[in-house]
């Protein structure tokens, strides 16, 4: 018995299509001329040089920074993302500890912070309505942006 060899050759047209698709993915998406060297962490646009990166940022108003809290599929998760997530948690911890230090009384390390009059009146009015309010520590940006106040002149029954 003679064994016949069967050789399957890829046709030149399909082979060329594959190479063209590969080249297109490696070409700078900003200028379309040069092979890309960089990928934007925020929007994944590929670029070839600093002028193309700058023009991409200007044209699309892209920050060039990965969104720290966006969802990343497990298939795209790598060591860099783990380090980035760890750094985010460490930064949040530092901010919270810094805010606690600002509130601390020097004697026994107790948190002896007196609320401003307007916030104290808000807390008292809420307590009369059996609602417990917890304020964010000083130094937290959301606390500084919060404009909630209690107007004692508006009496609701």
pLDDT tens digits for the chain (157 residues)? 455 554 444 444 444 444 444 445 688 998 888 898 888 888 888 999 999 999 999 998 888 887 777 888 888 888 888 888 888 899 889 888 877 776 654 444 455 567 788 888 888 889 999 998 888 877 778 888 887 777 777 765 5
Same domain, 23 and 87: yes
Whether 157 maps to a domain, the answer reads no
Centre a 10 Å sphere on the Cβ of residue 72 and count the other Cβ atoms it contains. 13
Same domain, 133 and 69: no
Same domain, 58 and 122: no
Whether 108 maps to a domain, the answer reads no
Same domain, 88 and 55: yes
Query: DSSP letter at 131?
Result: -
Tokens of 32: 């379309």
When divided into structural domains, the chain yields a total of 2
Whether 46 maps to a domain, the answer reads yes
Same domain, 30 and 62: yes
């Amino acid at each position: 018995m003679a064994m016949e060899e069967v050789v399957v050759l890829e046709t030149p047209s399909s082979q060329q299509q594959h190479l063209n698709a590969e080249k297109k993915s490696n070409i700078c998406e900003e200028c379309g001329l040069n092979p890309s060297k960089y990928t934007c962490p925020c929007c994944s646009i590929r670029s070839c040089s600093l002028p193309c990166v700058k023009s991409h940022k200007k044209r699309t108003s892209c920050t060039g920074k990965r969104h720290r809290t966006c969802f990343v599929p497990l298939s795209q998760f790598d060591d860099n993302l783990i380090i980035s997530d760890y750094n985010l948690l460490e930064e949040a911890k530092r901010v919270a500890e810094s805010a606690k230090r600002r509130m601390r009384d020097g004697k026994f390390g107790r948190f002896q912070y007196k609320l401003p009059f307007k916030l104290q009146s808000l807390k008292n009015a809420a307590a009369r309505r059996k609602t417990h309010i917890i304020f964010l520590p000083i130094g937290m940006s959301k606390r500084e942006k919060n404009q909630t106040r209690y107007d004692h002149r508006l009496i609701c029954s």
